[in-house]
Every structure is written in C-alpha cells, then in structure tokens.
C-alpha cells in the first residue's frame, strides 16, 4: 500500500488550530508514536492521541490464504466494543476498538481471537453458506482487481482475497490450525495501539503468547498475463497494469502514489463530474464510462495501472488509448503538482480517522518493522519530489 | 435397417406430436436444476460509476462489528392501490391539493357535525324508550293521586278517604283547634314537632290513618286530646296528629300534598 506508508500527519501546523477548540472525539492530531521491538521480534507501537476511543490492533504478516471471511464472533459487543478482522493480501489484523473502559474489559477476547484461535469444525462449517453468498455478490470491479493480481503474480499475491468456490466446505479446521501455527509468529507480528499509553501496550504485548519465529516468506515475482471472465451485462471492467513499486523502496512507492493522482482517480471535488487527470484527458470524458488509476504496493512488489468501467461495445478504442497512455506518455509539472496536492489532502483526511490510522500503522509495522513517523521528513520528500518519467 | 427417409427423424430436435413409431431417444427439454437470477451490473451515473472504482487497495473486514445483514428485494409484493379511498379532487397528481383544502374540510366537518347530532338524537330516543319502560304504568300513576274537593268538608269535621290502599284523614280544623295546637309546647311532646311543620294550611290537616304503634286505624274525634284515638292499644293523638299518650312512638305520617286552588286538595 503505497499510500499507507505516509499516512501519518504531514503538517503539524494543522493541529495548532485545535488549541482554541475542545479536543475532538478523534483526539489530538500531533501525537507521538512510540515504537519498539521486543526480544521476540514483536513490533510494538503506541500513540496516545488522548482520544475517547481506544484501538488496539494485533497484525500478522501472512500470505493470504483463504481464511479471511472467518468472523470469529465473540460477545464483545456486550461491553460496547467492536472487534473486527481485516485482511488484505499481505496482512491480517485483529482490531479491538471502544472506550477505554470497554477495551480494558474486552482485551482478553482480542488476545484469544488473535493468538489462541480455536477453529471448531461446526463453526467452520457454519460459515460456508455465508461465504457462498458473499462470493456470489462480489462487485465486478473487485473481481477485476482480483483477476489483475492473479494474472500479474499467479501465486502468493495473485491469490484471490476470497476463497475459491471449489474450496468452500473443504477447508478443515486442522488446515486452518496449521496455517495459523505456521504464519502467526512473533517475527511477523505487530501490536499497535492508539489512545493507549506506550507502557501499558508494551506490557500487554509481552504477555501475549505468540510462537517465536520468522516463518518463511515466499516472494511473489511479477509475471504478467491476461485473464478474462465473462459475467454478463453491458458494463465491462478492464484493469490494465504493469509492475509498480514495493514498499521496500519507499521513494519509488511515493513516486507511484503521486503518479496515481497525476493520472487521475476520478472527480475529487464533491458533486463534481470533472476529473483533470491525464487519463480523462486521454480517453475523453464520455457519460458512459469511468476511469481511475490504481496503484497498490506490497512489500516487495506492486501494481500500477488503470481500471476502466465502460460499455463493453466501445471498450476496444478506450482500452487501447489507456494502454497507450501507460506505455508512452509524459507527465507535466502541472500534473505532478496536482498529484502531490491531492495526495497530501488525501493523507491528511485519512489520518483524521483513527480506524484508518491504526490500519496504516499496522501495515507499516508488520511489513517494514518500523513506522514512518517522521511526518515532516516525509512531507519534505513529497515536496522535493520532482518530475521524472 | 435405416431407410433414408427415417434418418431425418433422428436429426430433428423437436418432439413429435403424432408418434411415427421411431424412438429418437432425445430428451425433450432439460430443466435447470436450480434457478439463478443474476442482475448484470448497470452503472447509474458517471459519478456513481467513478465512485465505485477502487484505487487498488482492497481489504476485507469481517467480525462481530462488521455489518453482515442481507436484504433481499421482494419484487412480487404488490403495492396496494388506495384510489378508491381518496377524494376525486386529490386523485390527479397535477393538481395542488391545497386548492381544494377548504371545501374538503368544510364537507368533512359538516358531515361529521350532522351525523354527530343525528346519532346523538337517535341514541337519546332509544335510551329514553328503554328507561321509560322501567317506570310505572299509567293506571298505577292514576291511582297514585287523589283529588279532594275541600268545600264538601265542613269545619270541625274529619273525613276518611282511601288512598293507595291506606286510610287518609282530612280534617277541617276550627280556629279553636288551630289555636290549641299552635300553643302546645314542643318540649312536652314525645315526637317533638310544631304544628306549623305538619300543615301547609292551618285549616287543613292531612295525615295517614295508620297508627304508628302497630298499624291500626285510629278513630276520629276521640281520645283525651280531641284528635284521634287508636282503639287497639290506646294511643291518643291530638288535632295535629301528634302522639300525646299511649304506646305509639311517632306522630301520624303526613303525605305529600298540595293545594292547586283554594277548593282543591291533591294528595300524592
């Protein structure tokens, strides 16, 4: 996630206006993130933003393997807290959020859900119908992105976010247990807290019983290819992409993030239909179709391209011009400036939500083992970033 | 053996209405094992379409806090048509309903008022009919009263009538009697009542002729006090019907009566 890397507050001046106001529910914005690595390589990061809501997240790095939809339902809501499991292609995060008192009560459940999973066979079989429904109702644009990954990486990152239909009901609880045992290791885990003090969180992290080890990481090299799936209907979703930047090279990742905005991700002004990106200028803005640049960065690789939604009959011409844009096009200074501005605004807006912030921190901590908390340096780098093609 | 004419029947994909004795072995139709309705995606507007496109970063959230409700659209439910219940003036979608508001309200209020009054009157008459059935009949009411012509009763005379099955004494008192009764000290009486309390007109005493002791009929102009005397046990009443001597505890009872004119007395 290229954008995740820089989602800490960029400009601390923004928080200055808060001095004359009451502290908002989301707390103060210029909080300090204190991160440390425990002896078993568990990354602990805490930021006390004086918010009324505390969020604690336990994040594991994992090659995504078909266990995403397991809603481990516990009676957390009785104390007024929320527990969610969020997974993408590289990480899975168990996040508990609620008021401080509620989180304190519900913390044992988070520990149990995240580190001491018990997959009871009847519970596993119970979710089959639900997964069938969710797979059947996937939006097509999501499928396009899924197929794009499949074509680009084949395995690893190429695996779908969803279980293949053929596997539903066939994954046993032992398979899941084995997966947990081999992936949920301290060397690839992080504990993140927002609205909680660093000392308390470290104490909590030390009490977690996570198996030590680093596990094995299978890199998924970019391979490329083409996949099609006919789902009927008049609207075609076409995703065209090449290899982007991984988070390893944060400078490249930042560049791609700016480029994504320069190419255009749809109208940025409320109620507006106008998109000033290069993409819209190239393919023209007709009423029937929409286009957006997509950019996604994983640890060692990434994808950059465009996603088009258009009537299938006229797709040929539009896709051709989009590919032409990706392969041979120049980006003007003006576009880069617009891209940088849009990215800054998006980052700042995103960082205001505690839920987004903890997700981003978790991804950074578990993939990079450190947090890019130096917001100013990131901001400076963003400003210094010049046009390069 | 296959004849050339028969071959074509094997190549046909249609069923035969009239059998030609050739079993083609084809299935007539294959029904799907399950019905699947899939509504293909259709963008509503360019903006909506644009908003629906992800920027690449996709993740899945599940858990107790994630919304997991499923709503199905039931398209077989018909929306009821209320046209029969609506006023004609508001049926048209092109016409402002505020224009006819006054007339509709007037009609409603007038109808409500008129029906209210009518139903109240009907209720009253029904209730009256049932309640009046419980009251006394006309012949009973006719016997309940008695009219007495006073000019037929000379002064100093007591006349006995029958009223509601009981004897009724009407006494035309003389001035001397009136004077005597008025002057009796109330404190000396067993049932203390002044003469004025017992008569409306001092000239006329109206009492029931039933002794308050055990119900015998007293005798007129007898006894120690010139009034009534009960022969059964010797109770003496004066000319005001008050008990003066003997076992009776109370004065003779005075019924309801009135003088509609100087010459007429109505008792009851």
The predicted-structure confidence for A83-92, as pLDDT tens digits, reads as follows 888 888 888 8
- pLDDT of res. A347: 80
- pLDDT of res. A377: 43
- pLDDT of res. A159: 86
Q: Do B41 and A4 touch (CB under 8 A)?
A: no
**Nearest-Cα residue of chain A relative to residue B37:** A136
Q: Do B57 and A4 touch (CB under 8 A)?
A: yes
Q: CA dist A22 to A11, A16, A353, Å?
A: 20, 12, 17
Instruction: Please tell me the pTM assigned to this model.
Output: 0.58
Interval B134-153: pLDDT, tens: 888 888 877 788 888 888 88
- pLDDT of res. B174: 87
Top residue of B36, B37, B51, B62 to mutate, by most chain A CBs within 10 Å, is B62
Q: Do A139 and B51 touch (CB under 8 A)?
A: no
Q: Give the one of A68, A97, A309 whose C-beta lies nearest to B43's C-beta.
A: A309
**Nearest-Cα residue of chain B relative to residue A81:** B65
Q: What angle do CA B266, B267, B268 make, to 5 degrees?
A: 120
Q: Is the pLDDT of residue B103 over 80?
A: yes
Interval B202-232: pLDDT, tens: 888 888 888 888 888 888 888 788 788 888 8
Q: Is the pLDDT of residue A315 over 50?
A: yes
CA distance A83 to chain B (A): 6
* Of the ranges B24-38, B118-132, B165-179, B253-267, the best mean pLDDT one: B118-132
- pLDDT of res. A287: 65
**CB of A65 within 8 Å of any CB in chain B?**
no
Tokens 């909080």 belong to A31
CA distance A241 to chain B (A): 11
Q: Is the pLDDT of residue B29 over 80?
A: no
Q: Do A267 and B58 touch (CB under 8 A)?
A: no
Q: Is the pLDDT of residue A223 over 80?
A: yes
- pLDDT of res. A8: 35
Where do the domains of chain A lie? Answer: 25-136+161-218, 235-349+374-384
- pLDDT of res. A227: 93
Q: Give the one of A74, A142, A287 whose C-beta lies nearest to B58's C-beta.
A: A142
Chain B CB contacts of A139 under 8 Å are: 41, 52
Chain B CB contacts of A160 under 8 Å are: none
Q: Is B172 a catalytic residue?
A: no
- Counting one residue from A and one from B, how many pairs have CB atoms under 8 Å apart? 130
- pLDDT of res. A5: 34
What's the mean pLDDT in B69-91? Answer: 83
Q: Is the pLDDT of residue B25 over 70?
A: no
Comparing A318-327, B100-109, B224-233, which segment has the lowest mean pLDDT?
B224-233
Q: Is the pLDDT of residue B60 over 70?
A: yes
Please report which confidence band the pLDDT of residue B40 belongs to, taking 50, 70 and 90 as the band edges. Answer: low
Chain A CB contacts of B73 under 8 Å are: none
What's the mean pLDDT in A297-321? Answer: 89
Q: Do A83 and B63 touch (CB under 8 A)?
A: yes
**CB of A293 within 8 Å of any CB in chain B?**
yes
Q: Is the predicted ipTM greater than 0.85, yes or no?
A: no
What's the mean pLDDT in A44-71? Answer: 65
Question: Which tokens belong to A213?
Answer: 């080890």
Interval A177-197: pLDDT, tens: 888 888 888 888 889 888 888
**CB of A110 within 8 Å of any CB in chain B?**
no
Contact present, A91 and A362 (Cβ < 8 Å)? yes
- pLDDT of res. B66: 63
Q: Do A309 and B38 touch (CB under 8 A)?
A: no
Q: What does residue A43 show for φ and ψ, rounded to 5 degrees?
A: -85, 130
Q: Give the one of A74, A139, A291 whose C-beta lies nearest to B64's C-beta.
A: A74
Chain A CB contacts of B67 under 8 Å are: none
CA distance B84 to chain A (A): 41
Q: Do B53 and A309 touch (CB under 8 A)?
A: yes
Chain A CB contacts of B49 under 8 Å are: 235, 289-290, 309
Q: What is the CATH number of domain A235-349+374-384?
A: 3.30.830.10
**CB of A236 within 8 Å of any CB in chain B?**
no
- pLDDT of res. B152: 84
The residue ranking higher by pLDDT, B70 or B162, is B162
Q: Is the pLDDT of residue A64 over 80?
A: no
Q: What is the DSSP string of chain B?
A: ---HHHHHHHH--S--SS--S------S----SS----PPP--S-HHHHHHTS--S---EEESTTS--------TTPPPPP-GGGS-GGGT-TTS-GGGGHHHHHHHHHHHHHHHHHHHHHHHHHHHHHHHHTTS--HHHHHHT-EEEEGGGS-TT-EEEEEETTEEEEEEE--HHHHHHHHTS-GGG-SS---HHHH-SSTTEEEEE---TTT-PPPEET-STTEEEEETTTTEEEETTS-EEESS--SPPPPPPEEEEETTEEEE-
The residue ranking higher by pLDDT, A323 or A211, is A323
- pLDDT of res. A239: 94
Quote the mean pLDDT of chain A: 77
In this structure, what DSSP letter does residue A159 have?
S
CA distance A366 to chain B (A): 16
Please report which confidence band the pLDDT of residue A14 belongs to, taking 50, 70 and 90 as the band edges. Answer: very low
Chain B CB contacts of A231 under 8 Å are: 40-41
Domains A25-136+161-218 and A235-349+374-384 share a fold: yes
Q: Is the pLDDT of residue A166 over 90?
A: no
Please report which confidence band the pLDDT of residue B108 belongs to, taking 50, 70 and 90 as the band edges. Answer: very high
Q: Is the pLDDT of residue A20 over 70?
A: no
- pLDDT of res. A387: 44
Chain B CB contacts of A287 under 8 Å are: 46
Give the CATH architecture of domain A25-136+161-218: 2-Layer Sandwich (3.30)
Query: Of residues B74, B172, B213, B233, which has the active-site annotation?
Result: B233
Q: Do B53 and A141 touch (CB under 8 A)?
A: yes
3-state DSSP assignment of residue A41 = coil
Q: Is the pLDDT of residue A382 over 60?
A: no
**CB of A274 within 8 Å of any CB in chain B?**
no
The residue ranking higher by pLDDT, A87 or B22, is A87
């Amino acid at each position: 996630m290229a954008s995740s890397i820089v989602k800490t507050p960029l400009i601390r001046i923004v928080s200055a206006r808060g001095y004359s106001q009451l502290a908002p529910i989301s707390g103060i914005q210029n909080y300090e993130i204190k991160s440390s690595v425990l002896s078993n390589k568990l990354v602990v990061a805490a930021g006390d933003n004086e918010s009324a809501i505390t969020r604690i997240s336990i994040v594991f790095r994992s090659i995504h393997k078909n266990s995403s939809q397991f809603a481990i339902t516990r009676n957390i809501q009785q104390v007024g807290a929320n527990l969610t499991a969020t997974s993408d292609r590289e990480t899975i995060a168990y996040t508990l959020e609620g008021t401080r008192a509620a989180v304190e009560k519900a913390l044992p459940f988070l520990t149990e859900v995240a580190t001491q999973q018990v997959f009871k066979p009847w519970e596993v079989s119970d979710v089959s119908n639900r997964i069938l429904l969710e797979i059947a109702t996937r939006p097509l644009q999501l499928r396009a992105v899924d197929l794009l990954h499949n074509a680009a990486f084949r395995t690893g990152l190429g695996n779908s976010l969803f279980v293949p239909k053929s596997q539903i009901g066939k994954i046993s609880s032992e398979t899941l247990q084995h997966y947990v045992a081999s992936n949920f290791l301290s060397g690839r885990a992080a504990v993140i807290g927002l609205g909680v003090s660093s000392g308390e969180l470290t104490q909590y992290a030390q009490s977690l019983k996570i198996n030590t080890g680093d596990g094995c990481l299978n890199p998924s090299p970019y391979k490329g290819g083409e996949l099609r799936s006919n789902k009927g209907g008049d609207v075609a979703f076409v995703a065209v992409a090449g290899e982007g930047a991984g988070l390893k090279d944060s400078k490249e990742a930042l560049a791609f993030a700016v480029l994504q905005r320069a190419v255009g991700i749809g109208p940025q002004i409320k109620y507006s239909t106008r998109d000033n990106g290069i993409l819209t200028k190239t393919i023209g803005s007709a009423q029937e179709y929409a286009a957006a640049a997509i950019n996604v960065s994983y640890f060692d690789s990434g994808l950059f391209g465009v996603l088009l939604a258009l009537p299938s009959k006229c797709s040929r011409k539009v896709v051709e011009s989009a590919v032409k844009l990706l392969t041979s096009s120049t980006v003007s200074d003006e576009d880069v400036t617009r891209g940088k501005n849009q990215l800054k605004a998006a980052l700042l807006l995103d960082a205001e939500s505690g839920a987004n912030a903890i997700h981003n921190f978790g991804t950074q901590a578990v993939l990079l083992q450190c947090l890019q908390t130096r917001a100013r340096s990131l901001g400076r780098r963003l400003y210094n970033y010049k046009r390069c093609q | 053996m296959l004849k050339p004419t028969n071959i074509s029947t094997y190549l046909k994909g249609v069923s035969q209405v009239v059998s030609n004795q050739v079993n083609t072995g084809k299935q007539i139709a294959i029904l799907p094992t399950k019905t699947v309705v899939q509504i293909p995606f259709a963008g509503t507007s360019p903006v909506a379409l644009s908003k629906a496109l992800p920027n690449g970063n996709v993740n899945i959230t599940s858990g107790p806090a994630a919304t997991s409700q499923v709503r199905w659209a039931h398209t077989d439910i018909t929306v009821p048509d209320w046209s029969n219940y609506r006023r004609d003036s508001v049926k048209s979608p092109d016409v402002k309903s505020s224009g006819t508001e006054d007339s509709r309200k007037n009609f409603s209020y007038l109808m409500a008022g008129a029906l209210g009054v009518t139903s109240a009157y009907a209720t009253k008459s029904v209730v009256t009919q049932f309640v009046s059935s419980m009251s006394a009949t006309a012949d009973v009411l006719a016997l309940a009263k008695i009219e007495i012509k006073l000019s037929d009763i000379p002064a100093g005379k007591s006349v006995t009538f029958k009223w509601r099955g009981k004897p009724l004494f009407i006494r035309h008192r003389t001035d001397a009697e009136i004077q005597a009764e008025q002057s009796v000290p109330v404190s000396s009486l067993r049932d203390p009542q002044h003469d004025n309390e017992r008569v409306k007109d001092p000239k006329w005493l109206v009492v029931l002729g039933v002794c308050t002791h055990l119900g015998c009929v007293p005798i007129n102009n007898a006894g120690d006090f010139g009034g009534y005397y009960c022969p059964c046990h010797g109770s003496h009443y004066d000319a005001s019907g008050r008990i003066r001597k003997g076992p009776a505890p109370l004065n003779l009872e005075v019924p309801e009566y009135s003088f509609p004119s100087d010459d007429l007395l109505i008792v009851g």
